[in-house]
Amino acid sequence: MAGESLTGRHGEIPVRWYGDPDAGRPPLVWLHGGGFAHGDLDMPESHAVAGAVARSGRAVVAVGYRLVPYPVPVDDVADAFAAVRDRAPGGRVVLGGASAGACLAAAAALRMRDERRPGPDRLVLAYGTFHAALPAASRALWRRLAGRWWWRQMGGRDVARMNRAYVGAAVADPHALPGGHDLAGLPPALLLDADRDRLRASGERFARELADAAVPHEHHVVAGTPHGFLNRPAHPGFAAGVARIVRWLDGTDHSS
């Protein structure tokens, strides 16, 4: 692991490199979660995930983006991605993140598409919340939230408060919250959702929106997991989630 700073429009952006930058595979730029207002490079969702993926033989760049308000986090993600892409062999870079980081990854990719700038080779989106309002849960999801799981959930009001803190009045901006907007032209994506997570409704809706836009994607629910399982290295879902990410990346390295 090596730390450095990349230059962005708002100043220096701390990043950490994991693995061999010359491994010959497209590196993964990785974004932690934290509700857009919390989180850093030391949290397991950043450090442990990046280290685990790097041990598969792929360089990972964890980005310490600035937090609220919008557009600063998306600016940092876009600027860090561009700097990594300039160094990457062939300019191929994967962009991904967990929870709020998944939303930022998708939002930055959408902005790059609209600005006609080179974007990510693929997207890895783990238990993201992508919509201005939390979509309704399916019957199948409600069944997974029954009993003791219900008391651990974020609801629609929680998501609304989080989004207001993040974007203020800009909730309709697709470059902030991409769910519900035109997703055509985004790169192939892997979506991982938590099994017992009310926020899974946003991931499921986003997967349907990708399908409607003819964006190649895979969507998987990691059995028995709560939201944030990639922030819990001791939870069985951590190893299962990382293994799914690695298999998908390895299987799609030569497909784009």
Per-residue pLDDT of the chain (256 residues; tens, 9 = 90+): 788 999 999 999 999 999 998 888 999 999 999 999 999 999 999 999 999 999 999 999 999 999 999 999 999 999 999 999 999 988 999 999 999 999 999 999 999 999 999 999 999 999 999 999 999 999 999 999 987 776 778 889 999 999 999 999 889 999 999 999 999 999 999 999 999 999 999 999 999 999 999 999 999 999 999 999 999 999 999 999 999 999 999 999 987 5
Report pLDDT for 256.
Answer: 54
- Respond yes or no on whether the N-terminal peptide bond of residue 69 is cis (omega within 30° of 0): yes
pLDDT of amino acid 55: 97
Closest Cα partner for 198 from 128, 122, 142? 142
In angstroms and rounded to an integer, the radius of gyration of the C-alpha atoms of the chain is: 17
Domain that holds residue 60: 2-252
Q: How many Cα atoms are found within 13 Å in the side-chain-facing hemisphere of 98? A: 29
Query: What is the pLDDT, as a whole number, of residue 63?
Result: 98
The domain tally of the chain equals: 1
Kind of pairing between the strands at 28-31 and 60-63: parallel
E strands, the chain, in order: 2-8, 11-18, 28-31, 60-63, 94-98, 122-126, 189-196, 217-226
| Crossing angle between the packed helical segments 100-114 and 72-87, to the nearest 10 degrees | 70
pTM exceeding 0.85: yes
* Residue 96, helix vs strand vs coil: strand
Give the separation between CA 235 and CA 118, rounded to whole angstroms: 36
**pLDDT value of position 150:** 66
Handedness of CA 197, 133, 101, 209 (dihedral sign): positive
Question: What CATH number is given to the structural domain containing 36?
Answer: 3.40.50.1820
- Phi first, then psi, for residue 223 (nearest 5°) are -60, 135
Pinpoint the alpha helices (H) of 88-216. 100-114, 139-144, 156-167, 200-212
- At residue 89, the pLDDT reads 85
Q: How far is CA 56 from CA 46, 52, 226, 253, in A?
A: 16, 7, 25, 13
Q: How far apart are CA 191 and CA 177, in angstroms?
A: 16
